[in-house]
Amino acid sequence: MKIQDSVFVVTGAGNGIGRCVALELLSRGGRVAAADLSDTGLADLAAEAAAGSRLSTHVLNVADSAAVAELPAQVVAAHGQVDGLFNIAGIAQNFESAAGIPEARMQQILDVNFYGTVGLTRAFLPLLEARPEGGVVMVTASLAAMVPVPGAATYGASKAAVAAFAYGLKQDLRNAKSKVTVTTVLPGTIWTDLVRESAQTLGTPEIVAKAFAMRAEKAAHRMIETTLKGRGRVVIGKDAHVYDVLGRLSTNLAERMSYLQVASFVYRDR
């Protein structure tokens, strides 16, 4: 799919990877409907992009099913069509144990990371199916969907669930001979404000954390390129590639390495 003049919905566009995806699509001549919970983040995006009518901004809580249901009509009103959906909005877990995380927080993580992504995909699918050449859908999973990370059981479960949804949707569309493609992205450590805050929580020096992370701009570019090519599964980042390979060789080895890498920070006060 070409980017020029195509319309892409990008969630989580107010910061981090989502913002980088929106900016690159706009810089390459695309039209973007940027959705985010933060109106300030969206305003900053609009100011930086200076894209005029090629950018519309939509304050959205992806966990609000009624608001999600209204978004497709808003995007069509602003741009006339929809060619692609980049599901990037998500929230992390604050390194809580599986038994210790508050139930309300657990529900919030699932509502945003799983149900929000599923709801948006289902809402936009009819518009993507209506395109003669078909549309594209990208779903953001995580390294935590491939290997258990200490202190992130609920987050990992939400990302594993959304990955399984995307894989299953791809099968459904294949059976229906649909031209819509679904790309599941499994990023490792990407340098964003969220990762910076996690490093501070763990007590990891920023220079060390940053050395292991991929730049958000680079991750965004890879997300865009692989999604437009219709790739089914994409692993992004050095650490994610390492765990992907280890997991294929031995799940026990991958789990042990994850524990050794993170556990001493997560469980030090327990």
Residues carrying an active site annotation: 155
Task: Please identify which residue in the block is written with the tokens 């990037």.
Answer: 88
Cβ atoms < 10 Å from Cβ of 131: 18
Q: Determine if residue 46 is left, alpha or beta; phi over 0 gives left, psi from -120 to 50 gives alpha, anything else beta.
A: alpha
Are residues 229 and 182 in contact, defined by beta-carbon separation less than 8 angstroms?
no
Angstrom CA distances, 113 to 66, 109, 117, 197, 266, stand at 17, 6, 6, 19, 22
Task: Please give the radius of gyration of the chain, using alpha carbons only, rounded to the nearest integer.
Answer: 18
Give the contacts of 100 (CB within 8 A, at least 6 positions apart): none
Element housing 51 (H / E): none
3-state secondary structure of 9: strand
What is the C-alpha separation between 153 and 151, in angstroms, rounded? 6
